């Protein structure tokens, strides 16, 4: 009987030693996996970025469905993409007169929560959704009329100065402050910045996507970064002066202030009246492919991988299975 007890005791010690060795090995494997996964994880996105942006603020490439209006843009980047978007936004374009734009803005700029009010651009003032002859609100050209390569627009005209995507209801005072200034970076509320204008934190992304639309829809408009040219006012109301910016600032704002529900609703309303859409609201990643030299591959959303917690749980399960098989 003593021999049997000795064998059992020896077996238990042998089994315990094997378990300890295997546990150490598994611990080292798990530690190595955890280190690899955590050290290779991308930085957390800036809080102002949306869920469809990566850690650098770039929007993921969405791709098109067969009946998507942007299906013809698949696999296009750079100039080819911009040319195709130019064709698309002009295909069903039905510009309204500048006079009629007043009634159109009563509809397209309505606040999402109060249809009796318009959400004024730049200062966010809630304006009565009825045209009052310009007493309380104006038709603001986001890309200024003086920089559209034409004379001051008349009420009966239909041209780039009457495009509803570029017109926003604005309070009289903020419209006067902005005037025909270009856009420069700032922070907080709308304000004059040097020779330019900051549209405010809540409006900077909206402004950027409107400017991108105009540069795409009208190929004679020039979107630039040159400070000397942007500050030059000697050739306003001429084709040579049809420039706007500042491009690098607008690209930053596009990332920092993602597409809002208001922009989406406004885009839909404009389509009902004018017949076209702003593609940079529908597909914000197009901005990177045109102005930031990104490829489609750069903007593909990473596939979901197991987290290191999942790996630990899986290895722990495999450990138990190994012991069960070893001592069965």
Query: Where does the pLDDT of residue 242 fall: very low under 50, low under 70, confident under 90, or very high at 90 and above?
Result: very high
Neighbours of 240 (CB within 10 A): 11
User: pLDDT by residue (tens digit) across 245-297?
Assistant: 999 999 999 999 999 999 999 999 999 999 999 999 999 999 999 999 999 99
Q: Which percentage of the chain shows pLDDT scores above 90?
A: 75
- Which residues on adjacent β-strands are paired with residue 59? 53
The answer to whether the predicted template modeling score (pTM) of the entire model surpasses 0.85 is: no
More confident residue, 317 or 23: 23
DSSP H or E stretch at residue 27: helix 2-39
pLDDT of residue 102: 97
DSSP H or E stretch at residue 171: strand 167-171
Structure tokens at 321: 């299975």
Does pLDDT of 97 surpass 80? Answer: yes
Neighbours of 281 (CB within 10 A): 22
- How far lies 170's CA from each of 102, 114, 129, 131, 142, in Å? 12, 17, 11, 12, 10
- How far lies 284's CA from each of 14, 91, 253, 255, in Å? 64, 20, 12, 9
Q: How many whole angstroms separate alpha carbon 129 and alpha carbon 114?
A: 10
Burial class (CB in 10 A: 0-12, 13-18, 19+), 324: exposed
Query: Where does the pLDDT of residue 309 fall: very low under 50, low under 70, confident under 90, or very high at 90 and above?
Result: very low
User: pLDDT by residue (tens digit) across 70-95?
Assistant: 999 999 999 999 999 999 999 999 99
pLDDT of residue 33: 52
User: pLDDT by residue (tens digit) across 176-185?
Assistant: 999 999 999 9
- How do strand 167-171 and strand 137-141 relate by DSSP bridges? antiparallel
* Average of per-residue pLDDT across 293-307: 82
pLDDT of residue 24: 67
Which residues are CB-contacts of 2 (< 8 A; sequence separation ≥ 6)?
none
pLDDT of residue 160: 98
Task: Indicate the SS3 state at residue 223.
Answer: strand
User: pLDDT by residue (tens digit) across 189-236?
Assistant: 999 999 999 999 999 999 999 999 999 999 999 999 999 999 999 999
Task: Indicate the SS3 state at residue 122.
Answer: coil
Mean confidence (pLDDT) of the chain: 87
First and final CA of the chain: distance in angstroms? 24
pLDDT of residue 65: 76
Residue whose pair of structure tokens reads 């750069």 in the numeric block: 298
pLDDT of residue 133: 94
Q: How many whole angstroms separate alpha carbon 188 and alpha carbon 40?
A: 35
């Amino acid at each position: 009987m003593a021999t049997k007890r000795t064998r059992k005791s020896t077996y238990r010690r042998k089994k315990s030693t094997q378990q300890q060795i295997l546990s150490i090995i598994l611990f080292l494997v798990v530690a190595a996996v955890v280190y690899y996964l955590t050290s290779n994880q991308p930085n957390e996105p800036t809080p102002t970025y949306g869920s469809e942006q990566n850690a650098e603020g770039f929007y993921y490439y969405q791709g098109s469905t067969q009946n998507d209006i942007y299906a013809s843009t698949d696999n296009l980047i750079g100039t080819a993409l911009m040319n195709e978007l130019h064709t698309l936004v002009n295909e069903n374009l039905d510009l309204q007169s500048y006079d009629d734009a007043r009634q159109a803005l009563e509809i397209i700029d309505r606040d999402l929560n109060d249809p009796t009010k318009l959400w004024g651009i730049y200062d966010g003032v809630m304006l009565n959704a009825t045209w009052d002859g310009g007493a309380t609100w104006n038709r603001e050209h986001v890309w200024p009329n003086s920089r559209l390569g034409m004379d001051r627009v008349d009420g009966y005209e239909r041209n780039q100065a009457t495009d509803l995507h570029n017109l926003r209801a604005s309070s009289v005072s903020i419209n006067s402050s902005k005037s025909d200034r270009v856009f420069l970076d700032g922070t907080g509320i709308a304000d004059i910045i040097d020779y330019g204008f900051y549209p405010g934190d809540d409006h900077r992304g909206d402004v950027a996507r409107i400017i991108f639309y105009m540069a795409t829809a009208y190929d004679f408009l020039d979107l630039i970064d040159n400070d000397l040219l942007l500050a030059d006012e000697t050739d306003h109301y001429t084709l040579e002066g049809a420039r706007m910016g500042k491009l690098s600032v607008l690209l930053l704002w596009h990332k920092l202030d993602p597409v809002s529900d208001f922009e989406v609703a406004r885009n839909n309303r404009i389509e009902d009246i004018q017949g076209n859409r702003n593609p940079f609201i529908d597909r914000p990643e197009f901005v990177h492919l045109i102005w930031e030299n990104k490829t489609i591959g750069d903007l593909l959303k990473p596939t979901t991988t197991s987290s290191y917690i999942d790996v630990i749980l899986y290895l722990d399960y495999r450990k138990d299975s190994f012991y069960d098989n070893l001592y069965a």
